[in-house]
Structures are given as C-alpha cells and as structure tokens.
Amino acid sequence: AATGECIGFVGLLKTDHVPSLPAGTIEIGWRLAPEYWGKGYVTEAAEAWLAYGFQTLGVNEIVSFAVADNHRCTAVMKRLGMSADPARDFDHPDIPDSHPALKR
C-alpha cells in the first residue's frame, strides 16, 4: 500500500562542474534510503529517466558519477549499460578529501 513516504529520488540535471565534460552535459543521479537498496527501484526509475532524456529531450549523452568504492552505484550504472571512462575521472568539487568514501 502506498504511504506517500519519500524513499529517495532519481533525476536528470545539467552539470557544469566537470572540467573533462562540455558545459551543459546531462547527468543522471540518484539517492535512496538504505532500507530500499537492492529492490530494483533505482534501476527502474533510471531506465525511465534515460528514455526521457534520449527520446524526449533528444540528448546524445547522459553521464553519471560515483566514487569507485560505491559498488552498488556502479553496479546500477552497469545494469543501465553505462561504462567507465577513466579519461573523464575527476575530483568532485563538492566532496572534501576527508569524505569517508574517498579514504584508501
């Protein structure tokens, strides 16, 4: 039964913070409450947003970003048919070096 509770989001946005990408590149991103991980919600929603971006908006490329250790996120990207491009790797300006996901 629907409760109206927000469990996360998926969406498209223009990204201008990545030096290796042209300004206005479209990014797909998501966040989901941990108790809903592994249920296919992000993949299903992202597939719909990708179709909208390519078919309705007519964009030629949609990118996504994740730290390498975020295996759940990179697995979703692979399921969506995305692949890593090391030439486009960058240090995200909004994630400090002290972020736990960036520690080695």
Domain 8-83, what architecture? 3-Layer(aba) Sandwich (3.40)
Torsion on CA atoms 68, 62, 82, 92, rounded to nearest 10: -10
What is the reported pLDDT for 21?
82
The domains of the chain are located at 8-83
Predicted TM-score (pTM) above 0.85: no
pLDDT (tens digit per residue) in 37-68: 999 999 999 999 999 999 999 999 999 988 77
pLDDT (tens digit per residue) in 71-93: 999 999 999 999 888 777 776 66
Question: Which residue would you say has higher pLDDT here, 104 or 50?
Answer: 50
Task: Give a three-class secondary structure readout of the chain.
Answer: CCCCCCCEEEEEEEECCCCCCCCCEEEEEEEECHHHCCCCHHHHHHHHHHHHHHHHCCCCCEECCCCCCCHHHHHHHHHCCCCCCHHHCCCCCCCCCCCHHHCC
Q: Residue 104: pLDDT above 50?
A: no
